[in-house]
Amino acid sequence: MIAACEAGKDVYVEKPLSITVVEGRKMVEAAKRHARVVQVGIQRRSSEAYRRARELIVGGGLGAITVARAYRLSNMHPAGIGTAPDASPPPELDWDLWLGPRPARPFRETIHPYKFRWWDLYSSQVANWGVHYFDGMRWLAGAEAPVSVSAHGTRAAVGDDRTIPDTVETIHELPSGCLVIFGQYEASGNPAMRGGDIEVRGSRGTMYVQGNGYEIVPERGGQFQDPAPRMDAANVKTPEPGDATDAHVRNFLECVYNRRTPSCDIEAGHRSTTFALLANISLAVKARLEWDAGKESIAAPAGANRLLHYEYRAPWRLPD
């Protein structure tokens, strides 16, 4: 993406934006330095349903927002991505180039072409899927970054070549006190919520948001409170112009033409990717992280800052 910006190109870049927080910030700087239009492939930003849901939530329609939840569920027990021996790469693949700045290692069919998402050196499922949900939840809640992150994960049931957990639960605390909860369950596929893609719990009502609308379930007063409904129920359907990806690409092309800021610009994509990368760091160090969003550094435990980036394999380098 940086090379494309340096070449004077506008860029549509897929998610997760980067492998490290440092890389993501360098990408933001390059886009700004070269005045490029950059759209990150987090499609919910171009969804009418999510835009309208956000307006209602940020405007106080659900009351005080205390929890946002989402899950990616898939029962991959018992074989998962499978197992495979190291082997020679196919003749049409430049395996060394594919590895890029990561350490040299033999080719394996459970890494390339698709299954690299289950290897922590090349991606993760918390980043691959989680970034969509993290972005949606933080956008709906009107937050830029967390103040703390805690993640737990295990390999409880799936036997395969993966280097990431098959079951993960993450919690990001927002400055408002709202908790953003994400679960990546790959040994259990039954629903974890009433419905929708994202659940937002407010003091007046709970919202379930999906690609073509949202449902609101009113809250009632609990212990010591008036038990009357605190708002009206609602089931809103939005006139989406088709698949969210189509709308997102169209938004990018329009911004290339008019030079406006796209739906999910590079800064937004970087901030949402950071949610996922911090969760992975918490998993790696087995500790709660205190995050300084202004400095983009981990205030505690300080030793975890070493995982904000890594040393590239020569001759690869990250531009200054």
pLDDT-derived band at 244 (thresholds 50, 70, 90) equals: confident
Domain map (residue ranges) of the chain: 44-256
Within a 10 A sphere around the Cβ of 301, how many other Cβ atoms?
A: 12
Task: Name the percent of the chain lying above pLDDT 70.
Answer: 100
SS3 (DSSP) at 119? coil
Residue 94, classified by CB atoms within 10 Å of its CB into exposed (0-12), middle (13-18) or buried (19+), is: exposed
- What pLDDT shows up at residue 105? 98
Please report which confidence band the pLDDT of residue 320 belongs to, taking 50, 70 and 90 as the band edges: confident
Instruction: Give ∠ CA 29-34-35 in degrees, rounded to 5.
Output: 95
Span 182-222, pLDDT tens digits:
999 999 999 999 999 999 999 999 999 998 999 999 999 99
What phi and psi, each to the nearest 5 degrees, are found at residue 266? Answer: -60, -35
| pLDDT single digits (tens) 137-154 | 999 999 999 999 999 999
Q: Is the dihedral of CA 16, 179, 146, 49 positive or negative?
A: positive
- What's the pLDDT at 243? 82
Q: Is the pLDDT of residue 133 over 80?
A: yes
The CATH number given to 44-256 is 3.30.360.10
Residue 169 has a CB neighbour count (10 Å cut-off) of 17
Residues comprising the chain, all counted: 320
- 16-44 pLDDT tens trace: 999 999 999 999 999 999 999 999 999 99
pLDDT at 319 over 90: no
- Outline where DSSP puts E strands in the chain: 11-13, 38-40, 65-73, 86-87, 107-108, 148-154, 167-173, 179-185, 198-202, 205-210, 213-218, 234-237, 289-292, 297-300
pLDDT score of 240 more than 80: no
Query: pTM of whole model > 0.85?
Result: yes
pLDDT tens track for 288-305 = 999 999 999 999 999 999
Annotate 237-252 with b (16+ C-beta within 10 A) or e (fewer): ebebeeebeebbbebb
Within 13 Å, how many C-alpha atoms sit on residue 241's CB side?
A: 12
Q: How far apart are CA 290 and CA 269, in angstroms?
A: 21
The Cα 143–Cα 177 span in angstroms is 11
pLDDT bracket for residue 242 (50, 70, 90): confident
Tell me, what amino acid is at 25? R
Among candidate residues 189, 74, 80, 69, the one with its CA nearest the CA of residue 140: 69
Please compute, for residue 277, the number of CA atoms within 13 A of its CA located in the half-sphere on the CB side.
30
Angle at 5 between CA 4 and CA 6, to 5 degrees: 90
Q: Cite the DSSP H helix spans in the chain.
A: 2-6, 21-33, 48-58, 95-99, 125-128, 130-141, 244-258, 266-285
- Report which of 170, 141, 152 is spatially closest to residue 72, judged by C-alpha positions: 170
The whole-number pLDDT of residue 49 equals 94
User: Whose structure tokens read 């910006």?
Assistant: 5
Q: Cα(22)–Cα(87) distance, rounded to whole angstroms?
A: 33
